Copies of this chain bind each other. A is one copy, B any other.
Amino acid sequence: MSGKDIDTTLEDGSVIHNTFTIERTYPQSPARVFAAFSNKDMVRRWRVEGEGWDIDEFTYDFRIGGGEVSRFRYQGGPEIRLDAQFQDIVPDRRIVFAYRMKIGSEPLSASLTTVEFFSSGGGTLLRHTEQGAFFDNVDSAKGREEGTRQLLDALAAELQRA
């Protein structure tokens, strides 16, 4: 499925559900790519920090039932808050987590994300599947897929860093 499948026919005020899948290959092994999700410092570098972003909080407890709280803002804007909880972890194979996002006091979305790691030609095929429920508008659902592509670019840079 892709962003084109976004259902815009629902009644006013209801939730927009959208699923997207992105595949990327990295030259590093599944164990190396997995570590970029399990190691708090690495996660902070490639997924939380960024030019213009202030981080107010970042907690990360990588175990099933554990979770993440991230609070950040862009150039003095409203606080964006992410609350995640890990649903399934199979080392070097897959990570499944649910997360919700809020901007200021407004709930934006809840999602279930599956990240799978496959050995591929000496490197890793990463498959990111995000099943989302969006509370505000269709643009937000579309933006999530684009934002995820940018994060997977940042992951490539993190993996080259070490």
Chain A residues with CB under 8 Å of chain B are 11, 13-15, 17, 19, 21, 64-65, 83, 85, 87-88, 93-94, 96, 98, 100, 107, 110-112, 114, 116, 118, 127, 129, 131-133, 135
Contact = CB atoms under 8 A, between A and B. Distances in A.
A97 to B, nearest CB: 8
Number of copies of this chain that the complex holds: 2
B129 A17 contact: yes
Contacts of A17: 19, 21, 114, 129, 131
A85 to B, nearest CB: 5
4 smallest A-B Cβ distances: which pairs? Answer: A98-B98, A131-B131, A87-B110, A112-B112
A2 to B, nearest CB: 13
Given A96-B110, A111-B112, A129 B15 contact: yes
Contacts of A127: 14
B19 A116 contact: no
A23 to B, nearest CB: 11
30 contacts: A11-B118, A13-B93, A14-B94, A14-B116, A14-B118, A14-B127, A15-B94, A15-B96, A15-B129, A17-B129, A17-B131, A19-B131, A65-B83, A87-B98, A87-B100, A87-B133, A88-B110, A88-B133, A88-B135, A96-B100, A96-B110, A96-B133, A98-B98, A110-B112, A110-B114, A112-B112, A112-B131, A114-B133, A129-B133, A131-B131
